[in-house]
Every structure is written in structure tokens, then in C-alpha cells.
A and B are shown apart, each in its own frame.
Chain A
Amino acid sequence: MMKYLNKILIVAMFLFTLTACSTQESEPIQSQANQPQQSLPTVDRAGNPVEIPKDAQRVISFAPSITQVIDEIGLRDKLVAVDSQSPNYVKGVDELPQFDMMTPDLEALAALEPDIMFVSGMSSAKGDNPFQQLIDMDVCVVTIPSSTSIEGVKEDNQFIADSLGQHEKGIQINKDMQERMDAIAAIGSTIEEQKTVMFEIAALPTIYSFGQETFLHEMIELIGAKNVFEDQAGWISVNEEAAIAANPDIILTSVNYIEDSVGEILAREGWENMKAIQNQEVYYIDNGKSSLSNHHIVEALEEMAKKVYPEEYAELK
């Protein structure tokens, strides 16, 4: 018995030092904590057990946010297929076979003989796993649901890097991201007179915004501002009366499905007496950077900081 205890202790100590090392840069992935070495994760981000093959050569990405990370760690050449949205965000993948995220052609996917396939929660929105058939055919399907927090986004980055045997690259991506966030937070935390912000992700007649438990909410707080819907949680459809009553100092919009979403907000009937409209403080924030959950959100964060507090963040590169 003692023997075992000793062994367990040694392993535990080893694990602890390992975790301690990596926490300097980023959060460790839970699944990794079970493994003494930089081995592959055994549980995906949705909590399903997975057997990730070593040195995967044929990779499929089924979400633009994932494709961007794969591109960033320098493994774009290993992609054999992507979802139809990815080419809008990553250069050099438009020649690859493209699949519809919601209605994937499983036969064609299987025929590509992927070693690993990354999917987002989007595809399984209908309930059961739409890729079960592929899993049954021993394709390694790894689910990465869209994260709702910045911490989760970082864990996703690291997980993708780890799955492709590029642990260091993951650490590097997160380190860069953290440094840029820290630069913002250093200024943001000193701002005393916080401006109030309303961030629209869909426009009238169905305005959508968000409360807590979203990385965009965390981002508003990081730049030193206040989300007018901070008492809400998750994505919310906003009643027009409530939007006017909230009377934010600044309105941000990431709507890109209508032309000139800023102009549309400025011209809204009944909104003309709001502070943001009277001061013409309505700005567009890049849709891709603010909606895809990966390290690029830091670019949206910088954009937001400069739009909301142009003077305070004037020095920021």
C-alpha cells in the first residue's frame, strides 16, 4: 500500500510542478493534467473522451475560429477541408473542399480520410452529434463549443495547439494575447469616470446585445467601461424602449449584414435624444474579430478601447 502511495505522491508532485510551470503563461488543459508529458488531450472541450492520433496529417476544421488558430500555429497546409465560412477569414484555404456547417456531407467528409476533425458547438446545435457516423468510422471528431469567457477562449487556443502536438505554439499565442490584454487592462483599470456602452450584435427590429457570461462583456469591462446590460446574462434580444432608457454614452455595433449599420443607428426615430446619438458616439467594431472566439478578439478589444476612450488609449499601438 505504501508503495502505491509513494508512487502516487511522486506522480502528483510531478504533475504539480508541470502545472505550475504552464500556469505562468496560460491555464493548463484539464485533460492534460492526467498526463505526465506533453501528450495529446484525452477529453475534448465538450467533455467527450477522444483518442487523438499522434502527428495528425490530415486535418479538417469546421469553424472559422478554429481554422484561424490552425493557421496561426502554422499548420494550414495540413488542412484538407474547411467549413464554407472559413475562407472569409483565413487566406489560402479557398481552394480546399468546403462544407456547410449545418448540413455537412458526411460521405464526402469520410472520403477525405481525415486524421482529426475539429467541429464547433454550432454543428451540434440540433441536439445529437451530427458526426456520430464519422465517429463510428473511427474518425477522431473533436468538439470545441464556442467559449463564453476570455479564459475559455485561451483554453480553446491551447487545446487546438495541443491536439496538433504544438503545445509551445499554443502557449505563445496565448502569451501574445495576454500581453496585449494586460496593456489594455493597465489603462482600463485606471479609468475613473466609466462610460456606459451598449453593444449591438443585431440591429433593429431585432436588436441583440449581451449581458454577463460573454467574452464581449468581459472586454467592455477590461477597457474600463460599463455594459448597460450588465444585470443580464448571455445573449439577449433588446426591447427598443429599454435601449433608449439605458441611454448609453457610446453605442458599438458589429452588425455587418446591413450596409452602414452606424448610419442606421444614428438615423433611428425616437433615439435622437440619447447621449450617444447626440454626441455622434456610434462606432463599428469588426464583426469577425469580435465574434469568433479565439485570440483575434484581442484585436477587437483594442479597437473597442480606442473607439470608447480615444484619448486614454492614444499611446496604444
Chain B
Amino acid sequence: MKKQKVKIWITVLLCMTVLIVATGLGSVSIETSNILGIFAHKLLGIDLPNNLSSNIVSIFWTIRLPRTIAAFLVGSALAVTGTVMQSVLRNPLASSYTLGVSSGASLGVALMVIFGMTIPFLGRFSLPMVGFVFGLGTVLLAISMAMQLDKSLENQTIILIGMVLSLFVSSLLTILIVLSKEHMEQIIFWQMGSFSAIKWSHVFVLLSIIFPGILFLMYFTQELDIMTFGEEQAISVGIDMRRMKIVLISASALLTGTAVAFVGIIGFIDLIAPHVVRKIYGASHRIVVPMSALFGGAFMTIADLVSRTIISPSELPIGAVTTLIGAPFFAYVYFNRRSVTKKNA
């Protein structure tokens, strides 16, 4: 138990270091003293250092800081929902994406772009809002269809229906794009995913949904522990499996939907974070869920840092970076641990 505590503290410290480094680095280098000056100015109202150009202040405060925080939040949300979905469905490849969040959101965004609609009062939040509603809607539709077909909501039914629906929605999207080529660029850019153009207003929305969402999911860690042992065990200790599945899947879809709506489709973290975190911290969800949040957040922050600095002034697509860093890292953690366990045995 003591060892576990040390691991957790190391993780927290690592996360803080990652956040500090990520805000300190960018395609424009800003001195630490100036960064502190900007913080002092924005938070305490102290005058800015004299020689500091207003563009540097904008770059740090309006562009880099919200972007870094958003990357952390989105990474957390994707990792936590990946963990929850894998445990609920007892499938190591499951995630909210499997149930159609991404394809649903893409379809919503495509419709908005093609018909050039904006929702009154929402302005530039129209696109994320519709992406969110369609993403969540697709998952809820998948669950309700699964309920019609299978009263006990077997995992296989949920996954199968989710995948079929997801593919169906994707085909609608493809047809829409083919019929409306002039909007292809915008839709494809959106699908590629990016933390570019994320501002404070987006961060506040992300924070107000993702943070309580993760806390909500943490409330069910005991149920998640039991569910991983199998449905029979869970039922025998009095868990209403059907209700639990609906609650947890919907909450996960809400979180993923929010993330996807703002930054597009970024894969891989939802898939690997749960595996890596379980390898390091064991199986107890009381630890695995919050650690997934920290690990996913730190991982996404690093990926975003790489995407915006490595070929500066250009940028790499974030989805490519998460996979590029993630795949070897995942292989390392997975096989390294495996050989350790073998030796012990």
C-alpha cells in the first residue's frame, strides 16, 4: 500500500511538471520571468514588464495556456471513459468511440457545415454543440436499440449494435461529403482533430463538464470492480447490471462527446491509457480511474506539445502524434511488465 502511495505521488508530480513544461515551451520561446510577469498581471493586476510586447502576452495567455489546459482535460476525459467502457463491457478494445460517439459527432458537424447553419445565441459554440448532441445521441440510440433486442443488455449485443450503428452513420457521412464536395475540406479538417483555436471560453465549458463527469464516474468505482468479475457475480451482490450499464455508458458518452465536439476525433488514448494504468497501479478502480485521468491528461499534453513544437512554425496533426508516441510506449510498458511477471512466477 505504501508503494502505491509513492507511485501516486510520483504521478501527481509528473503531471505538474508536464503542465509547467508544456506551458513554458512553444514555437515562440518566452522567458520564465516574463511568464511569471504575465501571470502576475492577469491574476493580481500587477503591471506587465515594460519590454514585453502585447503579442507575446496574447501568445501565452490567449493561445498557449488554454490550449494546454484543454489538452489535459480532453486527455483525462478520454482515458477515464476508456477505462470505464472497457470495464463495463468487459472488452479490452471497447471505448465510447466503438459505440458511435465519433461518427455521430462527425455527422452532426458535417450537416452543420454543409447547410451553413448556426444556432442563435450559440455563435461559434454551434458546431461543438451539434457535434456533442449527435455524438451522445448515437450512443443513446445504440443502447436503446440494444435494449429492444436484448432485455438483459448483454455486452456483445451492445458492442455489436454500437459498431453497426457507427458504421451506418459513417456511411451517411461519406455520402454527404461526396454530394457536397465544396465542404469536404472543412469536414476533414474537423475530423483530423486539433487543439488549435481553443480559447478560454472553450476551456470553461470543457472543465464544467469533464471535471464533474470524472468525479461522477469515480463514485461508481466499487461497482466497476465487481462488474469486471462478471455479470453473475455483480448480480449476486445486488447490482442492477442493466441500470448500471446505462448510467455508466451514458456518462462516458457525455464526456467523450464533449471532448470530441471541441477538438475533433483523437484516438488511441482511450484505448491504451486503461491498459497502461492497470499495469502500473493494479486493478482497483478506486485508483485506476483517477490515475487514468492524470495519465491521460499528461499524455495528451505531451502529445500536443510535440505536435505544436517539433516542426514549428508548422504543426503536426495531434491524432498522428498520440499514436506515434503511444504505440511504442504502450508496447514497452506492456511487454516490460510481462517479462517481470514471468520472472517472478
> Does A84 count as interface, using CB distance less than 8 angstroms?
yes
Q: Which of B26, B63, B186, B194 has the most CB of A within 10 A?
A: B63
Residues of chain B contacted by A206 (CB below 8 angstroms): 189, 192, 194, 196, 315
> Does A73 count as interface, using CB distance less than 8 angstroms?
no
Q: For residues 171 through 225 of chain A, which have their beta carbon under 8 Å from a beta carbon of chain B? A: 202, 204-207
CA distance in complex: A207, B194 (Å): 11
Number of A-B contacts defined by CB within 8 Å: 85
Contact A241 B63, beta carbon cutoff 8 Å: yes
Contact B308 A239, beta carbon cutoff 8 Å: yes
The interface size bin for chain B is 20 to 34
Residues of chain B contacted by A274 (CB below 8 angstroms): 55
CA distance in complex: A269, B199 (Å): 8
Q: For residues 158 through 205 of chain B, which have their beta carbon under 8 Å from a beta carbon of chain A? A: 181-183, 185-186, 189, 192, 194, 196-197, 199
> Does B58 count as interface, using CB distance less than 8 angstroms?
yes
> Does A245 count as interface, using CB distance less than 8 angstroms?
yes
Binary contact readout B48-64 vs A (1 if CB under 8 angstroms, 0 otherwise): 00000111111101111
CA distance in complex: A114, B61 (Å): 60
Contact B197 A205, beta carbon cutoff 8 Å: yes
Which of A21-29, A48-56, A230-238 lies on the face that meets chain B? A230-238
Query: Given known contacts A206-B192, A245-B55, is B308 in contact with A257 (CB within 8 Å)?
Result: no
Binary contact readout A264-278 vs B (1 if CB under 8 angstroms, 0 otherwise): 000001111110000
The interface size bin for chain A is 20 to 34
CA distance in complex: A87, B59 (Å): 43
Q: For residues 13 through 40 of chain B, which have their beta carbon under 8 Å from a beta carbon of chain A? A: 26-28
Contact A247 B55, beta carbon cutoff 8 Å: yes
> Does B222 count as interface, using CB distance less than 8 angstroms?
no
Contact B62 A270, beta carbon cutoff 8 Å: yes
Contact B312 A239, beta carbon cutoff 8 Å: yes
Residues of chain A contacted by B186 (CB below 8 angstroms): 257-258
B38 to chain A, nearest CB (A): 13
Contact B59 A270, beta carbon cutoff 8 Å: yes
CA distance in complex: A235, B58 (Å): 26
Contact A241 B194, beta carbon cutoff 8 Å: no
CA distance in complex: A174, B56 (Å): 46
> Does B313 count as interface, using CB distance less than 8 angstroms?
yes
Contact B313 A246, beta carbon cutoff 8 Å: yes
CA distance in complex: A250, B57 (Å): 21
> Does A151 count as interface, using CB distance less than 8 angstroms?
no
Contact A237 B63, beta carbon cutoff 8 Å: no
> Does B314 count as interface, using CB distance less than 8 angstroms?
yes
Residues of chain A contacted by B54 (CB below 8 angstroms): 273
CA distance in complex: A290, B148 (Å): 55
Q: Which of A240, A245, A271 has the most CB of B within 10 A?
A: A240
CA distance in complex: A259, B183 (Å): 12
> Does B116 count as interface, using CB distance less than 8 angstroms?
yes
Q: Which of A229, A241, A270 contacts B26 (CB 8 A)?
A: A241
Query: Given known contacts A205-B189, A205-B197, A240-B196, is B313 in contact with A232 (CB within 8 Å)?
Result: yes
Query: Given known contacts A245-B59, A270-B63, is B116 in contact with A239 (CB within 8 Å)?
Result: no
Query: In the complex, what residue of chain A is closest to B200 when comparing beta carbons?
Result: A269
Query: In the complex, what residue of chain B is closest to A245 when comparing beta carbons?
Result: B28
> Does A244 count as interface, using CB distance less than 8 angstroms?
yes
B140 to chain A, nearest CB (A): 28
CA distance in complex: A244, B194 (Å): 18
Query: Given known contacts A84-B181, A204-B196, A270-B63, is B312 in contact with A242 (CB within 8 Å)?
Result: yes
What would be 25 A-B contacts, judged by CB atoms less than 8 Å apart? A204-B197, A205-B194, A205-B196, A205-B197, A229-B313, A236-B313, A236-B314, A237-B315, A239-B27, A239-B312, A239-B313, A239-B314, A240-B197, A241-B59, A242-B314, A244-B28, A244-B55, A244-B59, A245-B59, A247-B55, A270-B63, A270-B199, A273-B54, A273-B55, A274-B55
| Given A202-B185, A244-B28, 15 extra CB contacts under 8 A | A205-B194, A232-B314, A237-B314, A237-B315, A237-B316, A240-B63, A240-B196, A244-B58, A245-B55, A246-B313, A257-B183, A257-B186, A270-B59, A273-B54, A273-B55
Listed from nearest, the 5 A-B pairs whose CB atoms lie closest are: A242-B313, A270-B62, A205-B197, A273-B54, A205-B196
Which A residues form the contact surface with B (CB < 8 A)?
A: 84-85, 202, 204-207, 229, 232, 236-247, 257-259, 269-274
